[in-house]
Amino acid sequence: MDFSYPWHLYLMAATYVVAGLLHFIRPKMYMHILPGYLPGHRFLVHFSGFTEILLGLGLCFPDTRVLSVAGIIAMLAFFLPVHFHMLNDKRASMGLSRWMLIARIPLQFALMYWAYLYLFL
């Protein structure tokens, strides 16, 4: 592991690793937010959790950082339909207020931008 990167890159890495682990700790929570038209919810939850862990760890290594950044941006783009689904489906909203559900959408773009900044380290 290369500790010459800024601390906030490691914060991002830890965030994705923890988020990925939660897919295995609380899979039902994630299955409830997936749109019904997607098949294999359990597989998708585990696959996305594994991907988040892998990409988070990849941020910490010089040889995989750029690929991990690109993967994170793509993953966040693929997650956007889930956020819109949560906004439009009461059961999928997890009891979050409407303003929180709306705020999560631009947050996805902010997270994409945050990852994008690490392409230039």
Per-residue pLDDT tens, the chain, 121 aa: give them: 556 789 999 999 999 999 999 999 999 999 999 999 999 999 999 999 999 999 999 999 999 999 999 999 999 999 999 999 999 999 999 999 999 999 999 999 999 999 999 998 8
61 CB-near residues (< 8 Å, 6+ apart): 1, 2
Characterise 39 by phi-psi region: left (phi > 0), alpha (psi -120 to 50), beta (else).
beta
CA distance 121 to 59: 11
| The amino acid at 12 | M
Give me the pLDDT at residue 4, please: 74
Instruction: Judge contact between 41 and 91, C-beta under 8 A.
Output: no
The pLDDT of residue 120 is: 85
